[in-house]
Structures are given as C-alpha cells and as structure tokens.
Chains A and B, each alone.
Chain A
Amino acid sequence: MLIFNSFQARLTLFIISLLVFSLTATLIAVNKVSIKNTNNEINHSLQISSDVFSNQLTQNQDKLFEIARLLSSDYAFKTAYSTNDHNTILSAMENHLSRVSGQNIMMLVSLDGNVIAHTLKKELHKNTNPWPELQTSAETNEYGESTSIILVDKLPYQMMVVPLLIPDLDAWIYIGFPIDNDFVKRINKITRTEVTITHTTKSQETLISGSTLNIEKAEKLRHYLENNNVVFGNNLTIEMLNEDYISLPIKLNTIATIKLTAILQRSLNDALRAYNELRDILFIIFTFSMIISVILAFIIARQITLPVKLLTKGAELIENGVYDNEISFKRNDEIGLLAHSFNSMAKGLAEKEKVRNLLGKVVSPKIAEELLANDIVLGGEEKLVTTLFCDIRNFTSLCEGRHPEEILSLLNEYFTNICGKIESNGGVVDKYIGDAVMAIFGAPILKENDASSSIKTAFEMCHALTLLNDSFNRRGIAPITIGIGINTDIVVAGNMGSINRLNYTVIGDGVNLASRLEGLTKSYGVSVIVSESTMRAAPDFFYRELDAVKVKGKNNTCLIFEPIGQIEKINADTSDLLKKYNKALDLYKKREWKLAKKEFNLLLENQPSSILYQLYVNRCDEMMINPPDQNWDGSHVFTTK
C-alpha cells in the first residue's frame, strides 16, 4: 500500500479514521438510545392514553347512568309515560336529553321487548327491540342496570339500560352516547394521541366509526386492520403514509356480535423529530470537522514532511561528501532547531573530513583510519610485515647545481609517481627519509599476499621510474636510478613516540634488514633485492639467488634474491639464462673457482654490462688467491652498510 509509506498520508488517514470512528460511534449510540428512549416514552404515553380512554368511557357511562336513573325516577316523565301517547313520551325523552350535553340518544322499550319510543330512529316505534341482549343482561342485574356498546346505523353507541320504575318496573330506558369523532377528539385533546375506533362487520369488513387521523392515514389503518390480526394490549408498529406509528389496540366491551376496537397511536417520526434534528446537526458537525481536519492534517503534515525531505536530501549530500549545503528554515520550533543542529553537524563533519584527509595525506589513509578508529595509545603489537625500502642512488648528483625548490619539486614529482604504486598495491607509506621512502605491507591490516604485493609494487615502481626518466630526459634532466630492498619478518607495529607527538610505524630486525638489502642493490647491480623470507612468502615469482650474505652487525647468513618476474610470464630465454647462472653459482658454492669463473665469463660475454657476473668473476679470482677456510658457508661478509 504505497500511500502508507508517506507520513503525510498516514497522519491524514489517522486523523480521518479517528474522526470517522468517534463520530460514527456517537451517531450510532445517539440513534440507539434515542430510539429506545422514544419507544419507551411512546409505550408509556400510549398506556396512559389507554387509561384515559377507559376512564373517559367510564365517566361517560357513569354520567349517562345517572341521567338515566334520574329520568327513571322523574315524576314528570312517569306521568308523561302513563299517557301512553307516543309523541308525548318522545318529547319528554327529548326534553330530558336536552338537559344534558352530548349527542345522546334515548329509547324506551316495553317489558315484552317492543320499542315504545326512540329519539334517533323514530321509525322504530312499535318494532322489536333491536338489542335484546342488553335487556336480558339488565334483567339479571341486581339493580336492573346494564351497559354495552351497540351499533346504531353502523355507529357505535355506549348504551346504558336502567329500569323505569313506576314504582315497579314497567319499561326499560335505554340511553347512549356515540363513540364517534367527537369522542376520540376529546381523548386526543387530553393525551395528544391519535385515536381510531373501528368495528368489524359480519362480512369481515373493517369500518371506521371515528378517527383523529386524516382521511388517507385512516384509510391505510383501516386497510391494515382488515388484513391483519392484532393482539389487544400489545404495542405494534404500523406504517401509514411512510410514517411509523406505535399502535396500541384496545378491545371495547360490546355485545357478542359486534367487534369493536380502539387503536391508540403515536407517531414515531414525530417523537424522533428532536433526535433526528440532533442527528442531522451531528452529521453536519461531523462533515465540517472532517473537511477542516483533513485540511489541517495536510498542512501540519506538510510542515513536518517538507523539512524532513530537505533534511534527508542534505544528509544524502553529506553522505556524498558535499558539506556546504545549508538548510534554512525560518522557524523557531523543533524543526527549526533540528535544521540549526543539522547545519552545525554538517560543518563539524566537513571539518573532520578535512582533518581526516589531511591526516591521510600525512600518514597515509590506512594509518589515518587505524589511528582514528582506536584510542591513541602508545605501544604496538607483533605483526608479520613486509618492509620495502626504496632509495635514489644518485640523489646527490641530482641535487648538484639545483635550487632547493627545484630539488623539492623534482623529488615530489618522483615520489608522487612511485608512491602511488605502494598505495595501489595495498601498502602503506610509512615515512619519507630524505630521498628514500619506507613502505610496509601487512600493517595496520594483514593481507595474505603482502609479500607478493610488495614485489609487484617494486616492479611497478621501476616501470614508473622508466617513464619518469623519459620525461626527465625530455626536459634535460639526468635520469634517476633507484634501489629497492624488501624483507618479510615479524616486527612490532604500533604508535611510537610520545603521547602528544607520535608515529604509527614498525620497528625490528626485519625492518633493518630491508634497509640493508636496499643498500646492497648497487653492489649487485640490481634494482630489487628480496630476502629469503620474502621469497618464500611470494612463491608466485621467479627469483635469482644473488648471494649469501652476512650483513654488518649480524652473524646470520641470509640468502638474497633478485625477483625476475611472475612465474607465468617468464619466457624461455630468461629461463635458460637463469639455468646457466644457477649452474655457475652452484660451482662457485662448491669452490670450483675456475669452472665457476668460466661460466660467469660466458654469461658476461652475453651481457657485458652485468655487474653481477663481473662481481662473481672477481670473486672467483679472489677466492683463487685467498681461498676461504673449511667451514665457509658460501656467504660473503659485508663490512659496510
């Protein structure tokens, strides 16, 4: 996921995620709680409405009972009744009804069940009582009273029955009030609940007797009730015109053939309005917060990532050795401080690098590294080191007639040319001693092929010298000749001197011998002399045994060799020549002076300029004159360095 690699993206994503999570959680919690709370409240208020409804019915019933009782004991009514005149009786009933409020109806029924008078349906006069069940129920009541809901022209009426006592029962008085729109409106006024009264006809049709709902909703409710069974006393949710209503159906007491239901309803949407507003506000806040936070996150992230990018680039430049890239932020905060510190660090690194370079130039990079890597302590350790000494033979004559600056210039040119070969072959320039240079292979870091490297270096130095001499020649400067001596031995390598002024160098017999060998090169007329140990350590070269010597100050006889070249590069002629030489040398060692001389003279004929051959010829002569004693080991003693 590439976007998560960017700090900016991560910060922005984090902030967005946090916001989304917390606001979503808030919205969900608010929603859940509000719906639960609203449901509870609605249930509670529906229960109250149901109680109010029952109470209202009861109150009305009680009121009408009392009215009926009053009428039944009203003397004037009894008198009117005794006239047996329908119109008189009817007008007395109407008069009594007008004494009380409400759209009440009254009916008088004889003991044998015939309607004597009916205020609403005058045509029922003399017909059979349409609700005999009420009469039967009143007859069996101790007070002769009864009540039930009955239908008059499809409208439900709560009908009360009381006996007309004159003073014995002579007729039944029926009085009732309609359960219609006015009734439900009154309930609605008190409880703010929607009330609908429905009844189911014999043909399973559901009709509405009264409702506080508007026509469309009432129709939807009617349709619902017609097609669904409801459990009385349990709340359910009915959807009408995309609004949810929590509904409580109540069964009303009626005579058996009539099924009357009152539905009390409260709109869930209305109740949730406040919560919905809250939710909408939260949503708006959420959206704004998101937008602002994203922008701010972006800005803040950039405030961090931009400087980080610049600092990274600066670090890369430093890595590549560019120290002068200054990073400038005009800020006083942590980033500004960081930039300031970074710049100081860059300056410090630049200086250290400068010093290191300088040190490297002064002591050679490897020694510089060795010195810098460890604490500076005086002392050394034994190491197997190949030491190389290289000296200019005719330095004095080179100096003759020259200004010091010129001499220095020529010397530097010479050193620059040949010393590079030392470094490139893994060696370290230990020191310059006037016109001589001492190099070491194997310290500070030991390598496997130190000896070979030193010999290779020596060859390259000679080759470089040739080129230099060509250049000198062109410039009218006399050619330089050099001598190189190499020895491999255990020496002590380390920091020598005082703690404030020291050198990393090597000390030991092995070092001295290399110097002595270099000194011998002129005598043998060769450029490079290596010791036996070096020869053994570098078996990839062809050697010529030069002599067995006892150098000044030493009792040991060392064999000295001249490296000819790498074994695979030796050609047949050279090989042949070497064989002849070895043969001659062998004779010499065996004290066969004459034979040896003869051989050497043969060689000399081929190479008349060879100092070596001449040397041996002279030696042979000397030996013939002054033969050595019996325990001569073939060595030659050098009395001078």
Chain B
Amino acid sequence: MLIKKIFLLSLVIIPISSYAEEFSIIIKSPSGKTIKDAVVTLSSKDNKKLQTGKTYKIDQINKTYVPHVTIIPAGNNISFPNKDNIRHHVYSFSETKKFELPLYEGTPTEPVTFNKSGIAVLGCNIHDWMRAYVFISDTPYYGLSGESGSVTIKNIPKGDYSLRVWHSRLKNQSDFKPTKIKVTSNQTHPYQATVALKPAFKIRRAPKAKRRKY
C-alpha cells in the first residue's frame, strides 16, 4: 500500500518537479506605488484541469469580510462563517453568481458553489460598507498581491500564457485585457505590471453620537 502511495505520489511530484517553474510579477500604480489585493491569472489553451469540490472560507469578523479578496478556481465552494454577534445578510447581484444568505448567525450548513468563472462582488444588506470580492478563476494559475504588490505563481509549466491583472478598483476595464507572456525557467526579475486604480466612493456613515460629558 505504501509503495502504491509513493508511486502515485512520485507520478505527481516528478512531473510537477520536472515542469515546475515560477512566475513573479509585481503590480504597481502608474505613480510607482505597490498595489495590494490585485488578482493575477495566467491562462493558456491547454490549462490543466481545475481542482473542484474544495470549500473555501470568507469570515465576517467585526462587520468586515475577511479576506477582502478571495480567488477560487471555478467549481469550488465558499462558506461564510459569521463570527460576529449580530446577523449579517450576505448578497451578490453579480451575473457571475447571484445569491444571498439572509440574516444568519454562525455558519450556514450549505456553502455556496461558484461554478462560473468571473467576479462576484459581495455586500451585506445591513452594513453598506461590507464588501468582499470573489474571483472565480478559470485557470489554476493565479495569485493575489499583498502589501508588496508582488505575486509569485509556482509550479507553472513553461510556455505561453495570457496574463491578466484584475483589481476591484480598476480604472479602465480595458486594463483587464490579456497580455501575452512567456513563462520561462530563468525569470530574472519580476514582471512589471502597471495598473491604474480609481478611488472608491466613500460610504456615508452617520457620525456616532457623542457621549455627554458630565
């Protein structure tokens, strides 16, 4: 049994290790500032098959969705545990996935399945500012930039890919168009992508009533 597992494993690892390359990209704004929460996807015509059936998680903590941006491959699920002591009403009107989880507490029994690739923008009916983005990727090669603005996609075979960079505050939709890149084995420095963002509209929140001082 062990030998079978090792054999199977090697079947997996050896091809991976034999084809595994890395692709690094750094996303900056036109003024040179690094951009966080940018989604990077690399897709080619012979994409590896996507893994499905996994359940990801987006928490609601302190009236905020955590994480802000989630990338899942298409065909997977997301559950929405409510870690707050008040109920939330998660909703999405995005064409990619329309759903709502009305006023629940705790964790709903059924996670939500995202079969279609695309972007779903989640809000909370009760709290106007709560926002989360779900990027349903049609390729297994994707990454999310952090504070440094850099993304490294590992274990990606050499070859030609379409690079797409997405951000929730993308100024021009045309920036989302694919760019042809080549994944090579010896990428010297990260790919530079420049993305212009527009500011998000402020949400009006009524000022808290000041406590009277006696």
- Specify which chain A residues have a CB less than 8 angstroms from the CB of B203 in the assembled complex: 165
Stretch of A33-41, A166-174, A507-515, A555-563 contacting B (4+ beta carbons < 8 Å): A166-174
Stretch of B15-23, B120-128, B136-144 contacting A (4+ beta carbons < 8 Å): B120-128
Encoded as 1 (CB less than 8 Å from any B CB) or 0, chain A from 357 to 383 comes to 000000000000000000000000000
Q: Would you give the shortest CB distance from A373 to chain B, in whole angstroms?
A: 116
Query: Which chain B residues numbered 26 to 40 have a C-beta less than 8 Å away from chain A?
Result: none
Say yes or no: A78 contacts B201, CB within 8 Å: no
Interface centre among A75, A78, A144, A167 (most CB of B within 10 A): A167
Option from B89, B91, B124, B201 in Cβ contact (under 8 Å) with A169: B201
Option from B89, B199, B201 in Cβ contact (under 8 Å) with A165: B201
Instruction: List the B residue with the shortest CB-CB distance to A163.
Output: B201
Number of interface residues of A (CB under 8 A): 17
Judge whether B98 is part of the interface by a CB distance below 8 angstroms.
yes
Encoded as 1 (CB less than 8 Å from any A CB) or 0, chain B from 176 to 208 comes to 000000000000000000000001011110000
Say yes or no: A144 contacts B201, CB within 8 Å: yes
Say yes or no: B93 contacts A142, CB within 8 Å: no
Say yes or no: A82 contacts B93, CB within 8 Å: yes
Say yes or no: B201 contacts A142, CB within 8 Å: yes
Encoded as 1 (CB less than 8 Å from any A CB) or 0, chain B from 89 to 100 comes to 101010000100
Judge whether B115 is part of the interface by a CB distance below 8 angstroms.
no
How big is the B interface, by class? 10 to 19
Say yes or no: B121 contacts A166, CB within 8 Å: yes
Say yes or no: A167 contacts B130, CB within 8 Å: yes
Say yes or no: B202 contacts A143, CB within 8 Å: yes
Give the complex CA separation of A168 and B98 in angstroms: 14
Query: Which chain B residues numbered 117 to 161 have a C-beta less than 8 Å away from chain A?
Result: 121-125, 128, 130-131
Judge whether B168 is part of the interface by a CB distance below 8 angstroms.
yes
Say yes or no: A166 contacts B123, CB within 8 Å: yes
Option from A73, A142, A170 in Cβ contact (under 8 Å) with B128: A73
Query: Which chain B residues numbered 159 to 174 have a C-beta less than 8 Å away from chain A?
Result: 168
Main secondary structure of the interface of A (DSSP, over half): mixed
Say yes or no: B199 contacts A168, CB within 8 Å: no
Contacts A73-B128, A167-B128 given; does A143 touch B93 at CB 8 Å: no
- Specify which chain B residues have a CB less than 8 angstroms from the CB of A163 in the assembled complex: 201
Instruction: List the B residue with the shortest CB-CB distance to A69.
Output: B204
Encoded as 1 (CB less than 8 Å from any A CB) or 0, chain B from 73 to 102 comes to 000000000000000010101000010000
Encoded as 1 (CB less than 8 Å from any B CB) or 0, chain A from 49 to 93 comes to 000000000000000000001000101001101100000000000
Say yes or no: B98 contacts A82, CB within 8 Å: yes
Q: Would you give the shortest CB distance from B128 to chain A, in whole angstroms?
A: 5
Encoded as 1 (CB less than 8 Å from any B CB) or 0, chain A from 136 to 164 comes to 00000011100000000000000000010
Q: What 4 pairs between A and B have smallest CB-CB spacing?
A: A167-B123, A144-B201, A82-B93, A166-B93
**Cβ contacts A to B, 17 pairs, < 8 Å:** A69-B204, A75-B89, A75-B91, A78-B93, A82-B98, A143-B201, A143-B204, A165-B123, A165-B128, A165-B203, A166-B93, A167-B121, A167-B131, A168-B121, A168-B131, A169-B201, A170-B93
Listed in ascending order, the chain A residues whose CB lies under 8 Å from chain B are 69, 73, 75, 78-79, 81-82, 142-144, 163, 165-170
Q: Besides A75-B91, A166-B93, A167-B130, 15 other CB < 8 A contacts?
A: A73-B128, A75-B89, A81-B93, A82-B98, A142-B199, A142-B202, A144-B201, A165-B201, A166-B123, A167-B123, A167-B124, A167-B128, A167-B131, A168-B131, A169-B201
